[in-house]
Amino acid sequence: MNKFKLYLITCLLPLLASSCSYSSSTGWSFSDSDSVKEEKERRRKVDQKTDRILEVGRTTDRAKARRQAKEEVFEDEFFRSSRP
């Protein structure tokens, strides 16, 4: 049983260490995958568009502005991916 635990540790420790990163501000964390980065970027765009919709006065309801912003971000990403 001890050999099995030792084997698991020697196999999993390098894998775990390679997927972690250290930042002085946040400490140890797992590396973000591309999909997580894309989702964070999409959320940031939606927040910016929501604020812009409210600034311009297209609506005063934040929930409605957020729905409109999500639609616009989706359209932007959809048409950008289909253009050459």
What tens-digit pLDDT sequence spans the chain (84 residues)? Answer: 677 777 777 777 676 655 555 555 556 555 555 677 788 899 999 999 999 999 998 889 999 999 999 999 999 888 887 655
| CA 67, chain centre distance (Å) | 19
Residue 72 domain boundaries: 42-84
Q: Is residue 33 one of the residues assigned to a domain?
A: no
Residue 23 located in a structural domain: no
Please state, in angstroms and rounded to a whole number, the distance separating the CA atoms of residues 2 and 32. 34
Evaluate whether residue 60 is within a structural domain. yes
Within a domain: 48:
yes
State pTM to two decimals.
0.57
In a domain, 6, yes or no: no
- Report the domain count for the chain: 1
Contacts of 45 (CB under 8 A, 6+ apart): 69, 73, 76
